[in-house]
Amino acid sequence: MFDQLSNRLQKALKYLRSEGKITEKNMAEALRMIRLAFLEADVNYRVVKDFIEHIKDKALEEQVLLSLTPAQQVIKIVRDELTSILGQSERKLRFSSPPPSIFMMVGLQGSGKTTTCGKLAKWVKGLGKNPLLVSFDLKRPAAQDQIKMISQNLSLPFYEMTVRQMSNPGHVLQDLLSFTKNRGYDSLIVDTAGRLHIDKELMGELCMVKDILQPTETIYIGDSMTGQDAVKSAQLFEEKIGLTSIILTKLDGDARGGAALSIVSVTEKPIKFVGTGEKFDQFEVFHPERMASRIIGMGDILSLVEKAEKETDLKEAEELARRLRKQEFTLDDFKKQLVQMRKMGSLSQILSLLPTGGPLKNISKINIDDKKVVHFEAIINSMTPEERTRPKMISGSRRLRIAKGSGRPVSEVNQLLKQFLEIKKMMKKSQFQKLLSSLPH
C-alpha cells in the first residue's frame, strides 16, 4: 500500500544524504519533496502541515546541523515523526475484568466489518479465550447468515437472533448478555449494522446497542482503500457514538495509504489491528514504529522474525543457514523456501519487510509473482536431482523437457533459473555472508 509514498520519501532522504551537510536551502528542497509525497498519498493536509513543521524545527536545530551524520539524524527525525502520526506505540486490545469483554464493531457497509469480526474472533481464540460471535442488524437479515457461516468456518460459537426477537431489540440484547455470562463466554464480538452512508437511523440504532451492551471496546472498521472518506466517516462515528480504537482493512491493496497516515491524528484513536488479506489469519497487531521504519525503507525485521517463528521449521532453517554459509544453495533449497514463505503469506509482503539498503538493497528488484510460485514448484519438481544441484547444466533441450513435464512454457523455466541465479549471486556477496555469520550456529 505504501509503495508510492515510500519510494518518494526515500528519494527525498537520499537527496539529503548526497548533500554532505544540511543547510536551510537543501532542507527546504527535501521538505518540499516530502510534502508532495504526503499530499499525493492522500494524507490529510493538516496532518501534512504539522508533520513538515515538526521536521523543519527539529532538523534545523544546532546539534543536528553540527552532527557528524546530519542526514542520518534527519532520517531518525522523519521516522520518529511518522511513528507519532501513526500512534506512537502499539496499543493493546482491552479486556474486561471480570469477563465478558464486549467488542462492538462499527463501520460503513463494504468496509470488511463482518469478515473482520471473524478475524478478531480467531485472534482472541488464539489467546486462549472463548469468544462468541453475534450479528445485530435490524435491516439486513442476511447479515445473520454471513456471520453464521464465518463462525462455522472457524469452528466458533454463534448466537443466532430470530426476526421475531429483533422486533424487541432491547430485550434481545439483554438476553444476549445473560446468555454470554451464563455459558461462560469471556469475549463477545458484535457485528452491527452498516450502511453505504451514515444516517440518523443508523446512529440511533448503534447508540442503543452501545447503551445496553456497554462494550469494552467500540471499534471502527475502516476501509483503507477509500482514503480520506474512511477518515471522515471515522470522525462522524467518533462524534455520534464514541470510539475506542480502529481496525484498518485491505492494507494489502494498492491505495495510497493516506487513511492510515491521517486517521489517528484526526480521530485521536489508535489503530490496533490491520487486515492484510482476505484470509482469516491475515490479521496483524499494528505497530506504529515498525510501519514507520518500513515506509522510509528501514524494513521491519521484527515482524518478519515473528512470522518466521510461527511458520518455519527450526531444524530446516538451521540447515539452510549452514548451507548458505558454505554456499551450497540449490534449487531444492529454493523450492523449500518458496513453500515456507507461502505459509508466511504473500511473497511481496515478506520482501516489503526487508530493509532496502545494505546487503539486501537489491532484493526488492527480484520480481516473484505470488501466482507463479506454484508453477515454480512444478518446474523444479520436473527436474532431475542432478539438474537441481547443478542448474548450469540445464541446456535448451533440457529446458524444453522440463517445460513439458511441468506443463509450463519454456519462458517460465528461463525466468525461474534467472531469478535463482540472481538470488545465489546476492548470497555470495561478502556483506550477506557477514549477516549470516551473526546467526546462531
Domain boundaries, the chain: 3-86, 101-295, 301-437
Q: Locate 427 and state its grid cell.
A: 548470497
CATH numeric code, 301-437 = 1.10.260.30
CA distances from 376 to 183, 336, 415 (A): 50, 11, 9
The number of CA neighbours under 13 Å toward the Cβ of 192 is 27
Q: Which residue has the cell 549452514?
A: 322
Q: Where are the alpha helices (DSSP H) in 214-279?
A: 228-240, 258-267
Cα distance between residue 145 and residue 407, in whole Å: 41
Cα distance between residue 30 and residue 24, in whole Å: 10
The length of the chain, given as a count of residues: 441
Q: Locate 288 and state its grid cell.
A: 506504529
- Phi–psi pair at 139, nearest 5 degrees: -100, -25
Q: What is the pLDDT of residue 63?
A: 64
Q: What is the pLDDT of residue 78?
A: 85
Do the beta carbons of residue 34 and residue 55 sit within 8 Å? yes
Q: Locate 114 and state its grid cell.
A: 463482518
Question: Three-class SS of residue 409?
Answer: coil
Write out the H or E segment, with its range, that includes residue 397. helix 396-406
Taking 70 as the pLDDT cut, the residues of the chain under it are 1-2, 62-70, 138, 141, 163, 253-257, 297-327, 341-370, 427-441
Class level of CATH domain 3-86:
mainly alpha
Q: What is the pLDDT of residue 126?
A: 94
Q: Locate 305 and state its grid cell.
A: 522474525
CA distances from 310 to 127, 137, 319 (A): 14, 36, 18
The yes/no answer on whether domain 101-295 falls in CATH 3.40.50.300 is yes
Residues linked to residue 106 through DSSP beta bridges, in sequence order: 220
Q: What is the pLDDT of residue 440?
A: 46
Do the beta carbons of residue 256 and residue 4 sit within 8 Å? yes
Cα distance between residue 382 and residue 405, in whole Å: 6
Residues linked to residue 192 through DSSP beta bridges, in sequence order: 136
**Cross-sheet strand order for the sheet of 271-275:** 158-159, 131-136, 187-192, 101-106, 217-223, 245-249, 271-275, 283-285
Strand 245-249 with 217-223, pairing? parallel
What pTM does this model have? Answer: 0.70
What's the gap between Cα 173 and its chain centre?
Answer: 34
